[in-house]
Amino acid sequence: MQTSASKQPFSGLFFFLGSLVILFILVLLIFILWKFFKPGKLRALISRTAKPPGTSDALSVHLRTISYFNFHTLEKATNNFHSNNLLGCGGFGPVFLGKLGDGQLIAVKKLSLDKSQQGDREFLAEVRLITSIQHKNLVRLLGCCSDGAQRLLVYEYMKNRSLDQILYGKSNIFLNWRTRYQIILGIARGLQYLHEDSHIRIVHRDIKASNILLDDKFQPRIGDFGLARFFPEDQAYLSTAFAGTLGYTAPEYAIRGELSEKADIYSFGVLVLEIITCRKNTDLSLPSEMQYLPEYAWKLYERSRLIDLVDPKMQEDGILEKDVMQTIYVAFLCLQPHANLRPPMSEIVAMLVRKVALVETPTRPAFLDRKQRKDEKISWDATTDCFPSPLQSDSPSLSRPQK
């Protein structure tokens, strides 16, 4: 009993001294943090170490399905978003090449701050929605970052970069007909998925060569396919703000603001002609009748000289003329001025793989007559008559033009 009684004062003393030591350490840590960190920076540090910015308990399950990247990690990976790492710059923001600590190459897109008005919760919910859309011909979204006003998307890096660099002479890579057909068919299948097969309908609005990325086997992947969903609804699908690239834009969208999947189909038709000719849609350095590609292609069609449209290098390498002519024919069906005449992407894919016979004759693409533009002043009514509303127009004749 004496031994037990003698141990109690020592236990109390040990507990008291231990508490003092712990209290001293805590006070010392607080003093150091206060000395070397400003209160604002301290709060930011605590919030970053606690959890990703903007992440609520309701969104914690969302983040389990995607990767969340810290802003400083992406800043380091891209060398502070250095201009030497700039891969391209589109309407939604610039894209930078990045390299993570494990050596993985990534493409980081910084969304335009003046367009994206979403909060963290909405942004992360949209990222989760887009990552649920998976197709072999769509660029895969690896993750995202939301830091203050910054909104960044992280994509897989495509080894052969974008299609425009090959088509427009910025690369020494030559694409034979087999590879070009593979690219055309892959783009068509990707659009079919977005328009008809995915659980949400997505109209891309900006199908062009710079938004088609190529992997190491030159398989095409459509980029920026879900970015319209990150911006306000009136900028995404209605006519209050134009989005797209002139020359690729369907006439009903450019003039009247009518946006549907058929606008993507028109752009696809222009892109097919670019792939076959290996030239830009609009090239003012060429003779007048060759400057606008759909117009030039149709004139060759009228003269039964469509073979002149084909890239000479590809002709030298060897082509199956029947296959190339059929693909050009499909492009003409996509370029018809009336949206309701353009076939859906599922039919386009079927025609490209010859599961459906080509029975429809295309109508003249929508462009102005250059002779008329020189001889007389064209009124606004005359211009819009080239692109009549489907509600007002009669069905045009589908007969082939006279040679």
Signed CA dihedral, 56, 58, 59, 65: sign only: positive
CA distance 353 to 345: 12
206 assigned to active site = yes
Residue showing tokens 């979403």: 118
User: Two tokens at 84?
Assistant: 């030497």
Q: Which candidate in 206, 224, 264, 311 is catalytic?
A: 206
CA distance 282 to 284: 6
State whether residue 327 is helix, strand or coil.
helix
Query: Between the CA of residue 32 and those of 23, 35, 38, what are the distances in Å?
Result: 14, 5, 11
The H or E element that residue 234 is part of is: helix 233-236
Helix, strand counts (H, E) of the chain? 16, 8
Q: Which one-letter DSSP state was computed for residue 292?
A: B
CA distance 144 to 135: 19
Residue showing tokens 């712990």: 22
User: Two tokens at 171?
Assistant: 């690369």
Nearest to 341 by CA among 393, 298, 378, 379: 393
User: Two tokens at 65?
Assistant: 């399905």
Q: Catalytic residue positions?
A: 206
